Amino acid sequence: MNTSKRLLGAALLLGLTMLPLRPACAASASEINREATAALKMLYRNNEAARLVGEQAKAVLIFPSVGKAGFIVGGQYGNGALRKQGKTVGYYNTVAGSFGLQAGVQKFGYALFFMTDSALSYLDKSGGWEIGTGPSVVVVDTGFAKSLTSTTLRDDVYAFIFDQKGLMAGIGLQGSKITKIHPDK
């Protein structure tokens, strides 16, 4: 029993060293833009389906770096930029909490591709959108991505998770709350 606790402690410590250490709320608009641009370029370069979906999307909400940690009780946080026609039109954060059998630390990014005006309108009008309510969100994995074409894009929002690092079992967006923020320039 003590050995497993030590191994878990070592894994958590190792995972913490993989995450960037900076205040979560201190990101400026220019920093969020720079990170979102780099993340979206990397996603398009590494995932042809994401590029295809991006060409058809009304807007893209990019969260370049989301930190997630938990031991029984967990949470995640990250900042992102909403882009329409390549220009940033708003800033958002994503926050989630969880409770259950979990332990670990993880960093990842994700992009939400809004395919319909109604889905984008829901984001603007909801005052804090919780994924799992409102427009339908399809998380695109490697297998599903191979079957995407410009004629099969029929859902409201497509989510691509990328750049996963760390030690945590499972990853999901269900229950993540997305809220508009107003960072410093």
Q: Report which of 20, 5, 24 is spatially closest to residue 95, judged by C-alpha positions.
A: 24
Cα gap 50→22, rounded to integer Å: 29
Please, are residues 65 and 78 in contact by the beta-carbon 8 Å criterion? Answer: yes
Per-residue pLDDT of the chain in tens (185 residues, 90 and over written 9): 555 544 444 444 444 444 443 444 558 999 999 999 999 999 999 999 899 999 999 999 999 999 988 887 888 899 999 999 999 999 999 998 877 777 788 899 999 999 999 999 988 887 777 665 545 566 665 444 344 444 444 578 888 989 888 776 545 555 678 999 999 88
The pLDDT assigned to 13 comes to 41
Angle at CA of residue 165, ends 160 and 167, nearest 5°? 120
Q: What is the pLDDT of residues 64-103, one digit of tens each?
A: 999 988 887 888 899 999 999 999 999 999 998 877 777 7
